[in-house]
Structures are given as structure tokens and as C-alpha cells.
Structure 1
Amino acid sequence: MLAAGSGNGFGTTAWWGFSPALDLQAACLETSVEGLKASQEGIPSLNILLVGSIDGRHILKTMSQARRWPRRKINFYVLENNLETIGRQLLFLSLALEPSEKRGLQGKSEMFLELMGNTLLRSQTAAYLQEKAKLFIRYVTDLEFQRADLPTVDMSALKFKERDHLEGIFQFWRSPDPQAFQIKQLWDLRLRQYLGTRYDARRGVCDWDLTMKLQERGAQVINLREFFHWRDTGVAFDVREAAYDIPNKTLASGRLLRHKEEPMPARGYWGDIATGPFITFGIETEESSLLKTINGVPSKSAHEIALHNVTALLYELCYNTRYVPSASLEEKSSDSNFQDGSGDHNKPDVSSGPPATEDVRVYFLPLNCLSELHHKEKYQKLFNVVFFSCSMVHFLKPNLNQLSAPRATLIVEQTNFLPDLRKEQMAEFSSRAARLATEAGFVTVEATGKTFSFFQLGDQEAGEAQSETPASSAAPGP
């Protein structure tokens, strides 16, 4: 649905989302617990299908804030179009769920952003990635070990050839050879292809894209210094004054290129060089003090807001209480109910071990399987929330209503933060997404034109879909 190639800023492999992280329990339009299926333990289950969520941001936020809601089992079903994205989500989940005594909150937050959005890593982060890659190789070759070591994740639905391919990806991550992925040269090549004759004026192009497009569309906190630094180098989060000089191999992916009329496999950087990873965690926050302006200019950068937000999510995930930054102690010290990680009577037990996620499961589904999913009985009428990224809306077909629970919520990511698109192209995308949703039996709940469009499965359509489902579509199977 979105044309993507090496000559535009979107690329062919998305490494981060183009919208802020959502708490999908808050986004679910059907809020009654009675409307949810019960798990084997008798606890209501919220089943969420993520089509192209890319970076696991919605999983992290929903999982971290789960205890703000009545207790439910939350099952995420992750469907992507490339295995490198699945590998990265496994990496982020594994990092987020590490015990606090093994890795401190600050170090974990910084490493999360570094791995997610930087082309270059510090040496200790690169060493961590190699260590995790070795563990992940065992995960995909021994599912029993994986379930015992990281029970929150279920990889059993992946095909054997997909797990074999994942093993190859993790072996590449584990390789210590920095020349295996020459990201500086690859990044510059992408920039030159993208900008063409504008390459020497790239700072001016960057200024225009930021002020006239991204900031006008809701990303006012991103400043030119951090945006141009990312556009020029691929490093978005230089969280420490340290050397960022080791390629982030998680940003490598493969393509078939034509050489002398023959297809040749090649590994390179085919991702975004126009928007950046700031949108996912860096433009919205619950901490209003971070959004203050001074003479009309935001006082905090997207980098600072993203670090706060990731820290807050990991803190809440680990300690089951909301995070308040230590910088806000002075103004909030009169509030006896506030909690933070540095010293009051509500300070949590820092020796609590790994975060408690017994009510959360993340199931990785086979690549691009949405067109076949409704043929499996266990997925029929299962999903209470369905999310589509803007890059995978073309998978939104009428058979989605056979997968959706009564009054299910459909969330479609819009293209607001793609600076290559003109306003009329954005409007055309929004209209097409709304038409696809309507054809699947959903009705518009929130008008399009914002970061997300919300739809809900109509009662009448849901009933018709149930009665018209052919018996052949209820065939048993995993």
C-alpha cells in the first residue's frame, strides 16, 4: 500500500513504528470484562493481534501498564513480514524482562533505546547483543528450553524454515566482525540515493522536513540538532558520552538485488532515513513537566522524553507502581501518594527479581499468514483488538471479521509522520484504510486524520459473519 524503495525515505524494511506507543487496554473500545473470553484459570482474556507493529512498543506499554486495569490475561499475537523484525522484538522483550539485580533500570533503558534506534553501538551494548544472540540461537533450536527460560514468549507457531532463518540472523548478530555490516557506508549510500542533488544541502532539507512536516503534524518536541544528527549518522540516542563505533547488526536485512541480470542476495540497510525512531516514545508523555515550553520552544528534546518514557515503562513493569523522575521530587514532595525509585516510604523492593508477567503471553505467528489465519478454528472470533501499521494495511481484508470477537476494536496507524507524503496522499491513504475497514464489517468510531483511526466491529456485521462462516473454515489445527 505504501511504495517503498531505496530511493525514498521509508525504505523496504521498517525498524520502528511511525506512531507513539499505545496501551491497548486503554485503546480497546469494548471495556466490559464480561465481553471477554475466559482463560483456563477463569480469568478474562484480552486477545490482541498486531499486524506490523514492528518494534514491540505497544506490547511493552500495554504489559507495563496492565496492573492499572482489572486483572486479565493478555495474549499478543505478532504478525510481521520479515524475520529480522521478529528477532528484534524478541531482543527488546528479553531485555525488558531481565531481573533488576542483573541490569539496573537506567542501563536497561539506555540500552533499549540504543538497540532500537542507533546504527552504531557502544562496546558494552555490542557485547550484550552477542551474548543475547547466542542465547536466542538456543531458543529457536530448542523450544522447550525457550519456554522454560522466557515463558512470556511462544515461538511454536513459527515454521521450521523460519526458525532456521532466525538462527542464521542470530548467528550474524553474534559475529564479532565489524566489517560484516558496514553501516556508515550503507547509511551514506541510502542518503545519497534519497536526496540526490540535494545531498550537499541536506541540513536545509532536514530543517524543512522537520519544521514544515513532522512538527506541524504533532512532533513539536523533536529539535533540529537531534534530528539532523540522526539523519546524518543514524544515531538517534547518544545516551552516554562514549564511543558509538560498533555497527548495530540488528538493523541489517537481506534483499535480492539484480547483478548482470541475475538475482543476488545482499545484506544491507534498507530502512527508514526520513522520520527516525523518535516518534515511538519521544513525542508524548504522562509527565507534563517534560512538555513545558520556554518562549515557545520545548524545554526537553525527544531524546530526553523517550528516555524518560522507556524508564517509566520498565520501572512500572518491574515494580508495579508508577514512576516519577527524581527531578520532579521538589515540586511533588508534598504529595504523600507519589512513588519514585529513589527514596520514600513507598519505594519498592529492588530485589524483586524478574518482572511478574504470568498474565501475559506473546505469540509469534508465521510471516504474512493473515490471509490463512481464519481457516484455523482457534483463531476464529478470537481477537478483541487488532492493530495494523500503515505499511501493512493492504492485508486488511473482509476475512478479518471472522477473526474478530464481537464489537472488536480495529486500530489503523496513519501516515502523519512520513515526511515523503503530501497531504493529499495522506488523505488518500486514510480513505482507503477506512474503505478496507468498512468492507471487513467495521464502522468508524473516531474520525480519521489523526495519528490513529479507530473502528469497531458492528453487531449486525459480526452476527452475519458468524452465520456465513463456512464449515470448512472451522478445520482444527494449530
Structure 2
Amino acid sequence: MTATGTGQGFGSVTWWGFSPALDLQMNSLTSMENLHVSEDHAIPELNLLLVGCGDSRHLLKTICQAHRWPKRKLNFYVIENNLEVLGRHLLFLALALERPEQMGLQEKSELFLELLGNSLVRSQTAAYLQEKANLFIRYVTDMDFQQCSLPALDLSALKFKERDQLEAIFKFWRNPDRHIFPMEQLWNSRSRQYLGSRYDSRRGAFDWDLSMKLHDRGASTIGHQEYYHWRESGVAFEIREGIYDVPNKSLASGRLLRHKGEEVPVRGYWGDISTGPYIAFGIETEETSLLKTVNGQRTKTVQDISHYNVTAMFHELVAQKLYLAAQGLAEATLCQITEVEEEEERVTLQEPEEVPRCPGGANQRKGECRSSESNKGGPDFLCPKYVKIHFLPLNSMTELHRKTKYQNLFNRVYFSYSMVHHLKPELKLLSAPRATLIVELAKFMVDVSKDQIQSFADQVTELAKDASFLPFRPPPEIQKDSFMGFQLRDKQ
């Protein structure tokens, strides 16, 4: 069987991003004073449209760091081109909002990275995925239950057919049979097809991709051994000691392949096998000590940096304050959180001054939106205040501007590299005055040359101009940027 695109390293399904996680409230020219004020909460509303993120990195970072900015209601609208990717958004959102008494910070960050970037996971992680799959099946078949259990999420815009397909995806996730998704075989098959005659000398090919492309473009935190191991096996993060031998079924997707002149549906792994899941959280950090070098060698690995960043992000979500690295990182496990810090998190969650009303339950203290024997029907997860995440139908960008409720709505719009073809002139009809447009560039795409990176940036500039968006500033050397930013011209 053959399929167009599967011979390329980045594949046809975007399981993780090819740019660092962004706080979408940072570095924008959008006038915050002109935001629409919510009638329900009497605070400004910031409406964000995310097109093809692939993972939940921008969404989660923006939510977790919301305490750093003036109080605003955040409305996220998520569009993907693949239902399996949408299912992973739900998985990561549920994991991030697990209650502290249900899951500790360390375990949460480890599970997140494992599910994000590993082809093979531990049996404990596979059990968590199966457990959540059962819950998600009920979410897509019982909307009232979903609103009571996870009120931050809104699935009402999805089509009935898409909900049925999501149900089938989650049923596959919960299947305990390891052999229905032979990940090791699928990974090896993709690698052989991608490398072709270079497969027998693949270590040299890996070294070229890492040293001459990823390192040269700014991802110097990725070490050789980590990158080689991921290219060989698909396992990127091994933070916890254990046996990584269970296929990560959340990385399975279906596509039509041509066989004997006919198209047949085939489930397989059609994602990235060349860049890796390290870019999202592993190449930038606010903790500069993690970027130190000694005698030209880095003191911390890309796994350490990713783990720290994810841990810090989830800590901010719960504690509503910055996460400070523990003293003595060289001697202790990176990102270890002490019992005192865990207790501080619980205290912060129970502060009484913020009292949200959660659907399905009575007024509760901040963070206590949960189901219990005394509050049946209440939310099972944390309830971040003033946050709503809407999942929109697949590829709905072509029709969105025809619906009145979305016109002149979005203050921020994000397009991934893989979805930039949806950046059409109609975008200006969806954008609020002085809206911000952010487009992911091809900087860390291993299969894309420097000339192609520049050509793509030029193409993006033209597409944005056709939609009445102008660059924030004259573009510098595009090779150094992961994103391009634009602002909507004042409407006449």
C-alpha cells in the first residue's frame, strides 16, 4: 500500500507541535481596552481561535498562566482536521484538570509527557488511558453528564456523526489488546519507507538531521542519545523507571490507502518520525539554569527541561503563582515538589474569596468543583474560572464566516503550519477590531530546507495581507523565528 505524504518525516497527522508553547495573552498588539465585556461576569472577554494546534500546548499554557494577566474571560475555539487529534485535546485537558487529591503534580507531568510523545508507554499509563476512554465515551453520548463532569468544555458544536466517530475512537483506546495496534512494527515500517536506502546507515542520517538542521535552527537542547533513541523507537520521554512496552493507542489514526486500485481504510501511525515531540516544551524555559553548559556540554537534557516546564505549568494552574525550582537541582530529581509545596497547593485551591458557581452543583470554593457522595452530579475536575473551550467541527474554517455568531468575534487567531491553507480572505469577517494573527512557521520541520522556510514565510505574509492583516514589524531573519505575528488593519 502507498499513500501520498507518508514518505515525509512529518507525516499526515500532527500529534505534537513544531514550535514552543505560547501564552496567547503575551506579546500582542490587540487593544485589551476594547474587548467585549461579558454580561455574565462583567469582565472583558478574550476570544481565541486555534486552528490545527495538534496538541494542547498553547491552550494549556494560556490557561495555566492566566493569573499573570488582568482578569479576563477566555473563550477558546478549537478546529482540527482529524478527530483523533481532537480526542487527544480532550485527554490532555482532562489530565491537566485532575484534582490534586486525585493525582499529584509529579505524576501528572510525567503522564502528560508520556502520552504526548511516546509510542510505547508503561502499563500504568495505558490503564489511565483506558479509564479516561470510558469516561470520554459517556461525554460524547451524554452531553448533560459532560457539562456536569467537565464544565470548562463545550462539545455542542460537533456534528452527531463526529461524536459517533469519537465514540469509536475512545472504544479503541479502551481495548486492552496490545496486538490491535502493533506500534513497534508500524514505527519501523514508517522509518524504512521514509529513509529508503539510507535505513542501513540511519544513525548517520539521524546525526545529520539533528546537528545540521535542529541544532542549527535553535533546538540545541536536544541531545544526541535522546534523539537517536526516539528516532529508533518512538519513545521520547522515560522520566519514571519502568518498562515501556504498551502501545500508546492515542497515537493511532485511520486513513485511506490505495491497494490494488481501491482505497481501503487502514489504522496506523501516520505522525511525525523526524522532528520529535521535544520542541513544544523542551527548547525554551523561564528557568535559565536549565540551559547552562559546562565545557560545551549541557548540564540538563531536553527531557529535564520539558519535565520542568510542564510541571511549572500545571503548578501555576492549581496554585495561581509561579513555580520555583527546588534548591539543589544537581543533587535532587528535577522538578521534585516537596510535601510542603503540595500542601500549599491544596490550601490555595480552597481559598474562599473566589467562589465559582459550577453547573450541576451548589456554590463551591475555588478548585472544589468535584463530584462526591454529598454532591452527586457535580464536576469531577477542577473548574478554571472564566474559561470555556469549544470544540468546533472538523475543517469548519471554510464555513465559519457564514455564521453570524462567529462574525467579528475573534481577538486572537492561531494557525499551525499544517493548516495555513485555511488562511483565507474570509478571516477578516471573523476577526474583531485590531485582532492578532499568529502563524506557526516551518523552522523545525526537518524535511524543509532553509530556502523553503523563507518561501513559506513569504507565502504566509501574502495570505495574511489578502485577509487584511499586516506584520507586527518588518520581518527579521525568518530562520530565527518560530512564528509570524500580524494585526488586522483598522476596518473602514
Alpha-carbon distance in 2 for matches of 1:438, 1:426 = 18
Find the counterpart in structure 2 of residue 296 from structure 1. Answer: 296
Query: Could you list the runs of 5+ residues in structure 1 that have no partner in the other structure?
Result: 332-339, 464-478
Q: 1:236 to 1:392 in 2, by over 3 A?
A: same
Q: Aligned ranges for residues 231-246 of structure 1 at < 5 Å?
A: 231-246=231-246
Deviation per CA, 1:372-405, whole angstroms, max 9, x where unpaired? Answer: 1011111111101000000110000000000001
Aligned runs of 1:21-40 on 2, under 5 Å?
21-30=21-30, 32-40=31-39
SS at match of 1:327: coil
Code of the aligned partner of 1:211: S
Which aligned pairs between 1:138-287 and structure 2 lie closer than 5 A? Answer: 138-287=138-287
Quote the Cα distance in structure 1 between the aligned partners of 2:175 and 2:344.
41
- Letter of the aligned partner of 1:87 in structure 2? G
Letter in 1 for 2:302: A
Displacement after TM superposition at 1:123 (Å)? 0.5
- Higher mean displacement: 61-70 or 318-327: 318-327
1:260 shift after superposition: 1.7
Superposition deviation, residue 201 in structure 1: 1.1
Q: CA RMSD in A?
A: 1.8
- Is 1:443 equivalent to 2:470 in the alignment? yes
Q: Offset at 1:341?
A: 5.4
Tell me if structure 2 keeps the 8 A contact 1:64–1:313: yes
Q: After the TM superposition, which residues 21-420 of structure 1 pair with which residues of structure 2 at under 5 Å, given as runs?
A: 21-30=21-30, 32-40=31-39, 41-327=41-327, 343=340, 347-349=344-346, 352=350, 353=368, 355-420=382-447
Judge conservation of contact 1:4–1:11 (CA < 8 Å) in 2.
no
Structure 2 CA distance for aligned equivalents of residues 157 and 341 of structure 1: 42
CA contact (8 A) 1:50 1:388 kept: yes
Amino acid at match of 2:457: S
Report the count of equivalent residues: 450
Q: Secondary structure at the match of 2:471?
A: strand
C-alpha separation in 2, matches of 1:149 and 1:257: 38
User: Could you report, residue by residue, the CA deviation over 1:264-289 in whole angstroms, capped at 9, with x for unpaired residues?
Assistant: 11000010000000000010001111
Change (3 A) 1:345 1:119: closer
Name the SS of the counterpart of 1:16 in structure 2.
Answer: coil
Give structure 2 stretches of 5+ with no counterpart: 332-336, 351-367, 369-380
Question: Of residues 436, 452, 460 in structure 1, which corresponds to 2:483?
Answer: 452
Equivalent residue of 1:24, what SS?
coil
Match of 2:25, SS state, is helix
- Partners of 1:412 and 1:152 in 2: how far apart? 26
Please tell me whether the aligned partners of residues 28 and 384 of structure 1 are also in contact (alpha carbons under 8 angstroms): no
What CA distance in whole angstroms lies between the structure 2 residues aligned with 1:346 and 1:125?
A: 25
**TM-score calculated relative to the size of structure 1:** 0.91
Task: Letter of the 1:246 partner, please give it.
Answer: V
Counterpart contact for 1:326–1:342, Cα < 8 Å: no
Please say if residues 152 and 383 of structure 2, whose CA atoms lie closer than 8 Å, have aligned partners that are also in contact: no
8 A contact 1:292–1:298 mirrored in 2: yes
Supply the distance in 1 between the matched residues of 2:161 and 2:346 (Cα, whole angstroms): 43
Report the Cα offset of residue 329 of structure 1. Answer: 8.2
Would you say the 8 A contact 1:130–1:173 is kept in 2?
A: yes
Shift of 1:349: 2.9
Indicate if the aligned counterparts of 2:52 and 2:416 stay in contact, CA closer than 8 A: yes
- For residue 236 of structure 1, what is the amino acid of its counterpart? A
How far has the Cα of 1:203 moved from its partner? 1.1
Distance 1:412 1:302 in 2: 25
Hey, what's the Cα distance between the residues in 2 that align with 1:130 and 1:348? 28
Separation in 2, partners of 1:328, 1:399? 53
How many Å separate the matches in 1 of 2:27 and 2:179?
Answer: 44
AA at the equivalent of 1:189: S
Cα distance, 1:348 vs structure 2: 3.6
In structure 2, C-alpha distance between the alignment counterparts of 1:214 and 1:66, rounded to whole Å: 31
- Which amino acid in the other structure matches residue 436 of structure 2? T
Shift of 1:327: 3.4
Identity, % of aligned positions: 58
1:328-347 Cα deviation digits (max 9, x unpaired): 5899xxxxxxxx75548993
Give the letter for the 1:458 counterpart.
Answer: R
CA distance in 2, matches of 1:132, 1:218: 36
What letter corresponds to residue 378 of structure 1 in structure 2?
Answer: K
TM-score, normalization by structure 2: 0.89
CA distance in 2: counterparts of 1:157 and 1:10, whole angstroms:
30
For 1:163 and 1:349, locate their aligned partners in 2 and report how far apart those are by CA, in whole Å.
35
Opposite residue 13 of structure 2, the aligned amino acid is T
Alpha-carbon offset, residue 371 of structure 1: 1.2
2:453 to 426, 431, 453: 426
